[in-house]
Amino acid sequence: MARELVAIIKHDCPVCVELLPALDAAAQDGAPLRIVSQSGGGDTAALWERLRLVSPVEIDEELALSALYDPDAVPALLLLDGGEERGRVEGLARDRIADLAAEAGFALHLDGLPAHRPGCASRTRDPLVAATLAARAARADGRLRSRTLRLGAHEDPFEALHERGLTDGLPVVPPTPERVVALLEGTRRHPQDVVGIVPPYGGTATVEKVAVNAVMAGCLPEHLPFVLAAVEAACEERFTMHGLLATTHPAGPLIVASGPLTERAGLNARGNCLGQGNRANLAIGRSLQLVVRNIGGGRPQIEDRSAHGNPGKLGACFAELQEGSPWEPLSVDRGFGAGETTVTLWAAEAPRLIVDQIARDPEGLCASLALALQSVAHPKQLFIWDALVVGPEHGRILREAGWDRARTRAELMRLTTSRIGDMLRGAGGSPEGLDPAVFGGNPDGMIPKFAGPDRIGLVHAGGSAGLFSMVYGMWASGEIGSTPVTRSVEPWM
């Protein structure tokens, strides 16, 4: 029965200082007692000299022993039996400490000490220290497996990350193990769970790898489930992320979040939701782009052949505004439950403005919306997918008329159906358009811009003042184009 008492102390804890002479005396008498200091060698030696202690003391290098037994407070007296803990006292509880020593087989003379004194916080509770210990533990138990990038002793971490090609042109938050472990608090999923395989080079996005990029993007833990769901969606075969990246077209992934959890996570569905200022929108959107770059390996002008790109390729994410919406949640439109929170990804260009400050009925409003839809890419080109972001002042017109998505879509489809002859190459003086060899035989027939009403995405979002909506043109190239994908956020929480 190898019983011993381990006493963990700090040099700057007055309660430890009160207790030490008694511990020292017992140790000198040969008691099975180990004194362990959380303080550095210098501070501990100075204290030993000041108190004229003679017993040996262990310096808890790297706080390994302290992390193992994890006391809240010092002095912490631990009764160990063959290394297994059988009892402990934290702080000065005189009689209980004496009892513990007795169980270890020796007498501790604590007369003259107060009966009760709370101790001081263990060094392992110092937030910075705790963060480092948590990171070390995560590495040790396999939650963190990423290779370590060690920077030069004098390197500026922000410049270093730029120089190593790991940024999107703006500085990123250096992804220390501490920050990544803290961000992983945002999910219950295991860091080694696979989220998706990222094109173009097929890098594996684990929860951990996504978290590293999400730290860089500036995310908070509550943003992480949205990022994970977006990465999952982007990696789905039918989203065709590889093609979207490689195309000369300017589009990039657009993330639209819908559901009750969006507001709690801080996403913006209101004023300036497509612009700057909201951390959640910007960091979530940016995370996906950094994942594509760093895990997928897709870089502008190399794998990414976009002729112009668009500002949304830095990151594009906003939330649907359910309050005042004419429609049921986008999640439901996309086949999910009413109470679910989802992200829907579209392969989108930059949004363009639709002004209508005159229309007061839904037919009139849809006429303006349809003109914008018709001119996506080119008025005489047929199109596959599109999305409208209808602002609240426009939305009210539809809501008051009771137009659900189906009714709105039907009207928009009707208004974007044109006479074939007007859509042919050369019509209206423009060489673009439908190929007469294919369509020329029926110039008075009618042809819709969109393959079906479901191809017109409808989202309600924006500030409460302004008779504006926005239209997102999309990337499409027939069979090998991108299909919108919706994934649920809850499984990633």
Q: Which is nearer to another protein, 65 or 98 (CB)?
A: 65
Q: Which is nearer to another protein, 150 or 264 (CB)?
A: 150
How many of the chain's residues bind another protein (CB under 8 A)? 41
Min CB(194)–another protein separation in Å: 12
72-111 footprint of another protein as x/- string (CB under 8 A)? ----------------------------------------
In the list 224, 229, 295, 354, the residue contacting another protein (rule: CB under 8 A) is 295
Q: Which is nearer to another protein, 125 or 396 (CB)?
A: 125
Q: Which is nearer to another protein, 126 or 432 (CB)?
A: 126
Interface of this chain with another protein, residues 146 to 175, rule: CB under 8 A: 146-155, 157, 160-161, 163-164, 166, 174-175
Enumerate the H helices of 314-431 as residue ranges. 330-333, 362-374, 392-400, 405-415, 420-423
Amino acid at 189: R
Instruction: Name the segment binding another protein (CB under 8 A); options: 144-152, 221-229, 249-257, 335-343.
Output: 144-152
Min CB(258)–another protein separation in Å: 28
By CB under 8 A, is residue 180 in contact with another protein?
yes
Angstrom distance (rounded) from CA 91 to CA 100: 13
Angstrom distance (rounded) from CA 356 to CA 368: 7
In the list 294, 306, 344, 408, the residue contacting another protein (rule: CB under 8 A) is 294
How distant, in Å, are the alpha carbons of 76, 121, 190 from that of 70? 10, 11, 23
Min CB(202)–another protein separation in Å: 8
For residue 433, the SS3 value is coil
Q: Which is nearer to another protein, 13 or 113 (CB)?
A: 13
Min CB(31)–another protein separation in Å: 30
Pairing of strands 317-319, 456-460: unpaired
Min CB(50)–another protein separation in Å: 24
Angstrom distance (rounded) from CA 122 to CA 131: 14
Min CB(157)–another protein separation in Å: 5
Q: Which is nearer to another protein, 108 or 205 (CB)?
A: 205
Q: Which is nearer to another protein, 212 or 470 (CB)?
A: 212
Contact 106, 33 (CB under 8 A): yes
Cis, bond preceding 200 (omega within 30 deg of 0): yes
Q: Which is nearer to another protein, 186 or 481 (CB)?
A: 186
Cis, bond preceding 75 (omega within 30 deg of 0): yes
- The three state secondary structure string of 278-315 is CHHHHHHHHHHHHHHHHCCCCCECCCECCCCCCHHHHC
Instruction: Name the segment binding another protein (CB under 8 A); options: 288-296, 312-320, 420-428, 436-444.
Output: 288-296
Interface of this chain with another protein, residues 41 to 70, rule: CB under 8 A: 62-63
By CB under 8 A, is residue 12 in contact with another protein?
no
191-230 footprint of another protein as x/- string (CB under 8 A)? -------x--x-xxx--xx--xx--x--------------
By CB under 8 A, is residue 421 in contact with another protein?
no
Contact 117, 92 (CB under 8 A): yes
Q: Which is nearer to another protein, 64 or 355 (CB)?
A: 64
Min CB(210)–another protein separation in Å: 9
Q: Which two tokens stand for residue 23?
A: 């511990």
Pairing of strands 92-93, 116-117: antiparallel
In the list 55, 176, 192, 464, the residue contacting another protein (rule: CB under 8 A) is 176
Min CB(327)–another protein separation in Å: 38
Angstrom distance (rounded) from CA 426 to CA 400: 42
Q: Which two tokens stand for residue 432?
A: 């673009």
Contact 304, 246 (CB under 8 A): yes
Q: Which two tokens stand for residue 24?
A: 């020292």
Contact 290, 483 (CB under 8 A): no
Q: Which two tokens stand for residue 455?
A: 């191809």
| Cβ atoms < 10 Å from Cβ of 372 | 20
Q: Which is nearer to another protein, 213 or 258 (CB)?
A: 213
123-142 footprint of another protein as x/- string (CB under 8 A)? ------x--x----------
Contact 490, 340 (CB under 8 A): yes
Q: In a 10 Å sphere around its CB, with 0-12 CB exposed, 13-18 middle and 19+ buried, how is residue 427 labelled? A: buried
Min CB(67)–another protein separation in Å: 11
Contact 365, 460 (CB under 8 A): no
Residues that bind another protein (CB under 8 A): 62-63, 129, 132, 144, 146-155, 157, 160-161, 163-164, 166, 174-177, 180, 198, 201, 203-205, 208-209, 212-213, 216, 290, 294-297
